[in-house]
Amino acid sequence: MGSGGPYEDVVGYSRVVAVGDLAWTAGCTSIVDGAVVGNADAFVQTVTALGTALESLERAGFSRTDVVHCRLYVVDVAAHADQVGRAHAQVLGEVRPAATMLGVSALIDPRLLVEVELVAARIPAGPAGQVSR
């Protein structure tokens, strides 16, 4: 399922793919309507990218509380890890998904500091579907 992002048609990918009770987002950044939101601000970029990913999951029928994993790609992780972690806690702290923060050398646009991917799962209610967080 696409979101109309500027790279989806050019690169040939979907913003979110859902199969049954599972969904994965593609990498989401802070590019909104063709412009980078939060230039040079890793906190704002992370909040924006997570918002894009969550909106995509919602369009596919998943909720914020269905998120079970978050992967964060961070340019200059030593300099930005605290801001990225704080933003993650603000957006997903109550959900507490498994999370991985990776340092990368660059992203598709040199102004971008963060890219995020989410995985969501609809867990059935009841003892068999309880999730340990």
Would you state the pLDDT for residue 7? 58
Tokens of 21: 């009770």
For the domain spanning 14-123, the CATH number is 3.30.1330.40
Q: Report DSSP letters for the chain, one per residue.
A: -----TTHHHHT--SEEEETTEEEE--B-SEETTEESSTT-HHHHHHHHHHHHHHHHHHTT--GGGEEEEEEEEETHHHHHHHHHHHHHHHHTTT--EEEEEEES--SSTT--EEEEEEEEPPPSSGGG----
Instruction: Calculate the alpha carbon distances from 31 to 27, 48, 60 in Å.
Output: 11, 8, 20
Query: What percent of the chain is modeled with pLDDT above 70?
Result: 83
- The tens digit of pLDDT for each residue in 46-77 reads 999 999 999 999 999 999 999 999 999 999 99
Please check the confidence at residue 15 and state whether its pLDDT lies above 90: no
Mean per-residue pLDDT of the chain: 90
The pLDDT-based confidence of 14 (bands split at 50, 70, 90) is confident
